[in-house]
Structure 1
Amino acid sequence: MLLRERETPEGLLVSVCDSDCIGETYTDGGVSLDVTEDFYGGDEAETVDEDTVVESLTRATVANIVGEESVSVAIDAGLVDEAAVLEVGGTLHAQLLWLR
């Protein structure tokens, strides 16, 4: 999984995706999900394990999560409700927002 963290004026923005999702565009009807290198990858992104993803998502203010493995990690850790996960063009997508 690829993990990228950015500090913003609103807090920590975390993006996580399955490595094979980078560069893909998923569509379903009028919904389109672009998994761009600029947002999910780049020099700041790291290849990480499940524990690192969970730790980062726990610290995030907001997170975008794409791919079956990445979303499953968030669900299994109790950070994302499975009922709130979207399936877009054959992949999974979830967003996480902590109100602190």
Structure 2
Amino acid sequence: MYIKTYKTDKHFMVAACDKELIGQTLKNEACEMKVNASFYQGEEGTEEMLEVLLMQATTANLTGKKAVACAVKCGIVDPNSAIYFDEIPHALYFTL
């Protein structure tokens, strides 16, 4: 999967997606989502790398079965909260 991080003074965001999704446009009945390389394509990473980063994140944007499953495993995303585009899960995580 690809993992990219973004830092500001107050926030640490992790964007991750399954590699095969880069460049695709995913659709559901309400809208569509472009899996944009400039947003998601950082370094290639493992589930273990993503777990470490997610535990530090204040925000996460996750697309794909592997990326979302990792966030569920970490306990930061409820599997019932993911939305689906062409049967591909997408989940967001925010801390307040």
Q: Same fold (TM over 0.5)?
A: yes
Q: Percent identity?
A: 28
Separation (CA, whole Å) in 2 of partners of 1:21 and 1:47? 13
Q: TM-score, normalised by structure 1?
A: 0.89
Shift of 1:87: 1.1
Runs of 5+ unmatched residues, structure 1: none
| 1:2-55 deviations in Å (ceiling 9; x for gaps) | 1000112441111000000100110112211111011101xxx11111111011
Aligned residue-pair number: 96
In the alignment, does 2:36 pair up with 1:36? yes
Separation (CA, whole Å) in 1 of partners of 2:32 and 2:70? 23
Runs of 5+ unmatched residues, structure 2: none
Q: Give the superposed CA RMSD.
A: 1.1
Q: TM-score, normalised by structure 2?
A: 0.93
In the alignment, does 2:23 pair up with 1:26? no
Q: Aligned runs of 1:1-100 on 2, under 5 Å?
A: 1-41=1-41, 45-99=42-96
